[in-house]
Amino acid sequence: EKGGYEHFMLKEIFEQSKSVLDTMRGRLLVDEGVIKMAGIWDHLERLTNAERIIIIACGTSWHAGLIGEYLIEEFARVPVEVEYASEFRYRNPIITSKDVVIAISQSGETADTMAAIKLAKEKGAFVYGICNVVDSSIARVTDAGSYTHAGPEIGVASTKAFTAQLTILSLIAIKLGNHNGNLGKADFMRLITELDAIPKKIEEVLNSVDSVVKDIASKFVNATNFLYLGRGYNFPTALEGALKLKEISYIHAEGYPAAEMKHGPIALIDENMPIVIIAPKIGHYDKIVSNVQEIKARKGKVIAIINKGDTQVASMADHIIEIPETSECFSPILASIPLQLLAYYIAVERGANVDQPRNLAKSVTVE
């Protein structure tokens, strides 16, 4: 059932070009120039007229939510807030019937997310669910929703569910922007064409980086700390990369927006600190270049995720992992794959139980 792979996690990482395609199947119709999603179509007015969209989730799904915020605000121009379900449910949040809550959960069984949904419903908000497990509790309790269709995820560390969540959030953001007029026809077509190309690019990443990442991993098996840095859409990618490493390898890791480095974490940098920096040639690339210079000036060990053919960051980094180019908004899908593999190979070399890390459960059904 592991399909020849040593662990479910590795199998699920390698399934991602197919699972992302499954998420888009029947929904992203480039030739017709439309995004078709029943859950969204039925409630388009409710969603685009929302005064605010509040995304609630935990763990990896919360990271997907942060990227969802960037997507929805950029393309649909609806204000978005992202909250940990566990905080939201206990802090008496301001929420009205004009709000739309999007709850994201792979398992659809997370207790805190479930409780946050109940609270939002009591206050009259419309609740939209993004779940992977069909007919799960959250899928049943929400007013409407979309399944991610990534297929069963067995490894405790979420991988293919995350990239599927990013795919769904991209579809929703682009659809809403197209509907409310914030996204012009040309931009809409450019984005859906780009998104349609993502599964092929995932395959390219999987084929080209696996042995590179495995080799890099072998050099950091004894590290005790890691920093993950990224900017813009890849700030949450950095958080997710750090979470993957923590939960399966038990190495302490922190994710930060790269510019926050000089507000504290830079004090940690010396020759023993590995720093994973997500640096594709998009967005604020020049800023990332100076962040890499600052790290190298302090002798940190840089593992950089760059676009093929990049020489500027490549010339300074200790290790490079190349991914294909795509729009900034979709780059977390591609960049998170080498991060998953890095965590995986480090954990395997450390002899950790990657599919069932200590102290963790696949669905957290207790608070």
Q: Give alpha helix (H) positions in 77-183.
A: 85-88, 111-122, 137-141, 160-180
Q: Are 325 and 121 in contact (CB under 8 A)?
A: no
Distance of CA 306 to the CA centre of its chain: 17
Question: How far is the CA of 320 from the CAs of 84, 261, 330, 358, in angstroms?
Answer: 33, 21, 20, 31
**Of residues 6 and 367, the one with the C-beta less far from ligand M6R:** 367
Site string for ligand M6R, 273-312 (x = CB under 6 A): ----------------------------------------
Evaluate the CA torsion angle 12, 15, 18, 21 in order and state its sign: positive
Q: Which residue type is seen at 295?
A: I
CB of 145 to ligand M6R, least distance (A): 13
Tell me the site size for ligand M6R, rule CB under 6 A: 17
**Of residues 270 and 367, the one with the C-beta less far from ligand M6R:** 367
Q: Which parts of 48-67 interact with ligand M6R (CB under 6 A)? A: 58-61
**Of residues 59 and 199, the one with the C-beta less far from ligand M6R:** 59
**Of residues 48 and 170, the one with the C-beta less far from ligand M6R:** 170
Q: Are 16 and 337 in contact (CB under 8 A)?
A: yes
- Three-state DSSP class for 350? coil
Q: Are 280 and 323 in contact (CB under 8 A)?
A: yes
Site string for ligand M6R, 142-181 (x = CB under 6 A): --------------xxx-----------------------
| Gap between the Cα atoms of 345 and 339, Å rounded | 10
Q: Which of 17, 23, 110, 340 binds ligand M6R (CB under 6 A)?
A: 110
Q: Which parts of 345-364 interact with ligand M6R (CB under 6 A)? A: 360, 363-364
The token pair at 2 is 């592991």
**Of residues 48 and 158, the one with the C-beta less far from ligand M6R:** 158
CB of 57 to ligand M6R, least distance (A): 6
CB atoms within 10 A of CB 268: 15
Q: Which residue is nearest to ligand M6R (CB)?
A: 59
φ, ψ dihedrals at 304, nearest 5°: -110, 135
| Gap between the Cα atoms of 143 and 129, Å rounded | 8
CB of 352 to ligand M6R, least distance (A): 14
CB of 306 to ligand M6R, least distance (A): 25
- Which residue in this structure is represented by tokens 């929302």? 50
To the nearest 10 degrees (0 to 180), the angle between helices 198-218 and 331-349 is 30
> Does residue 232 touch ligand M6R according to CB under 6 A?
no
CB of 160 to ligand M6R, least distance (A): 11
CA-based max dimension of the chain:
56
**Of residues 5 and 285, the one with the C-beta less far from ligand M6R:** 5
Nearest by Cα to 60 from 249, 237, 257, 260: 237
Query: Is residue 362 annotated as a catalytic residue, yes or no?
Result: yes
Site string for ligand M6R, 88-107 (x = CB under 6 A): -----------------xxx
CB of 9 to ligand M6R, least distance (A): 10
Terminal Cα-to-Cα distance of the chain (whole angstroms): 31
Q: Are 254 and 227 in contact (CB under 8 A)?
A: yes
> Does residue 199 touch ligand M6R according to CB under 6 A?
no
**Of residues 259 and 364, the one with the C-beta less far from ligand M6R:** 364
> Does residue 247 touch ligand M6R according to CB under 6 A?
yes
Please list the active-site residues: 362
* Footprint of ligand M6R (CB under 6 A): 58-61, 105-107, 110, 113, 156-158, 243, 247, 360, 363-364
